[in-house]
Amino acid sequence: MEKAKRAIPAVCGLLGLVGGCMAAYFVLAFLWTRLIVSPADATGHDTDIVFALSIIAGIITGSLALLYSAPRYWNSHHSTLHRHVR
């Protein structure tokens, strides 16, 4: 039970990181080529900027997922399973 209390928020944080990076990449890539530069004029520097912003958005999303899932599993007053084992 103790491993699950640490593993579940870590998995939520990791999935938030990956999901946030992927979602931000597709949204930023679409907006970047529609609002900032035309698709024909996009360079490698533009790709680097989109990747960097996507990673930052993924870190923020992963941190928020970890922040919101951790109190549920790490605080003992929220545990509902096996209260007698504590």
**The two three-digit tokens of residue 69, written as one number:** 């899932």
The 10s digit of each residue's pLDDT in 13-65 is 888 888 888 888 888 888 888 888 887 888 889 888 888 888 898 888 888 88
Q: For the CA atoms of the chain, what is the radius of gyration?
A: 19
Report yes or no: 20 and 60 within 8 Å, Cβ to Cβ. Answer: yes
Measured distance CA(25)–CA(67) in Å, rounded = 22
What integer pLDDT is reported at residue 77 of this predicted model? Answer: 53
Strand runs labelled E in the chain: none
pTM (two decimals):
0.66
Q: Burial letters for 58-75: b for 16+ Cβ neighbours within 10 Å, e otherwise? A: beebbeebbeebbeebee
